[in-house]
């Protein structure tokens, strides 16, 4: 099993779209995935259905009552499983502080989930806030995936992510493997191409070759409660998320279908 944490301190860069559609690409490759909505804004959960009326049936229950993640999981056809979020999750930040116990809890919870319901991958869709939820998600990560929307401001924000990760690594006492992913990429726009050139220099081999194009099917699918392979499996977006999965597997950044062990 590998855990992929999708993180960027900027909103609207494609974290939720990437979490959803990378998971859907994995499912198409016969690798059911556990998605965890870490964001109190519940965007990912909303794409599946309305968040649970009872907050204890969301990720909040895991933090508040130590509910086993397997008991909180709901099925998501074409994906695998979802641990839904709830707006109350925001209070976890203030209730539990940032001690090592709460930071490590998510990692232990994911391992326990995998014992009960084996999955090949876990994807954590983070909020833009760097609080205890996001820190726990980064601690649990085998790979941090950082979507960058292909515009200049987004590149500035991505530099900030690198600083955050470096600061965290001192605390986590480990180097976190990371890859940057250009999203909303429009080849017809000169600026987008310049952003790619600059990102190449900035992030070097940590910039993924795959880019996610600006795609109307990707933009519209959440409103239809669909992932991209339900919306339009021959769209540019659908092909791009398959290419992303392929690149992550080929470079052994995540465990692949044919391999049990995770190698860096
Ligand atoms: N590649 C893309 N092409 C077109 N629209 C996109 C693309 N990626 C994301 N979007 C749209 O941009 C908005 C923000 O994306 P989202 O994944 O919710 O960002 P984040 O989770 O980082 O806040 C959403 O409305 C989404 O549908
Ligand atoms: Mg989001």
User: How many angstroms is it from 155 CA to the middle of ligand 1?
Assistant: 16
Residue bearing the CA closest to ligand 1, atom 27: 219
Full domain range(s) for residue 173: 2-250
Q: Give me the pLDDT at residue 264, please.
A: 34
Here the CATH number for the domain that contains residue 203 is: 3.40.50.300
Q: Give me the pLDDT at residue 17, please.
A: 98
Q: What is the pLDDT of residues 19-33, one digit of tens each?
A: 999 999 999 999 999
- 259 found inside a domain: no
- 255 found inside a domain: no
Q: DSSP secondary-structure letter at 51?
A: P
What residues are neighbours of ligand 2 (ion), with CB under 5 Å? 15-16, 43
- Total domain count for the chain? 1
- 49 found inside a domain: yes
Q: Give me the pLDDT at residue 93, please.
A: 81
DSSP 203-249: HGGGEEEEEEEP-HHHHHGGGGT--HHHH-TTSHHHHHHHHHHHHHH
Q: Give me the pLDDT at residue 263, please.
A: 36
Query: How far apart are alpha carbons 216 and 235 in whole angstroms?
Result: 9
Q: What is the pLDDT of residues 6-20, one digit of tens each?
A: 999 999 999 999 999
Say what the pTM is.
Answer: 0.95
CA dist list (Å): 257 to 1, 28, 43, 178, 249:
10, 11, 29, 21, 8
- 257 found inside a domain: no
């Amino acid at each position: 099993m590998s855990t992929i944490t999708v993180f960027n301190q900027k909103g609207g860069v494609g974290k939720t779209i990437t979490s959803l559609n990378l998971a859907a690409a994995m499912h198409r490759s016969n690798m059911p995935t556990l998605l965890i909505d870490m964001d109190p804004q519940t965007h990912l959960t909303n794409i599946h259905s309305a968040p649970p009326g009872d907050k204890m049936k969301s990720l909040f229950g895991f933090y508040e009552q130590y509910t086993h993640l397997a008991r909180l999981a709901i099925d998501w056809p074409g994906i695998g499983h979802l641990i839904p979020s709830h707006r109350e999750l925001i209070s976890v930040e203030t209730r539990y502080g940032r001690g090592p116990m709460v930071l490590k809890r998510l990692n232990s919870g994911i391992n326990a989930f995998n014992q009960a319901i084996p999955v090949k991958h876990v994807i954590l869709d983070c909020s833009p806030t760097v609080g205890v939820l996001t820190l726990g998600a980064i601690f649990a990560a085998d790979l941090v995936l950082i979507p960058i929307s292909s515009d200049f401001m987004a590149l500035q924000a991505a530099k900030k992510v690198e600083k955050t990760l470096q600061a965290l690594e001192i605390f986590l006492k480990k180097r976190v493997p990371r890859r940057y992913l250009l999203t909303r990429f429009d080849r017809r726009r000169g600026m987008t191409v310049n952003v790619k050139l600059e990102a190449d220099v900035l992030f070097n081999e940590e910039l993924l070759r795959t880019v996610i194009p600006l795609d109307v099917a990707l933009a519209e699918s959440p409103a239809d409660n669909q992932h991209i392979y339900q919306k339009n499996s021959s769209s540019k977006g659908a092909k791009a998320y398959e290419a992303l999965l392929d690149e992550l597997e080929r470079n052994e950044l995540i465990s692949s279908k044919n391999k049990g062990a995770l190698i860096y």
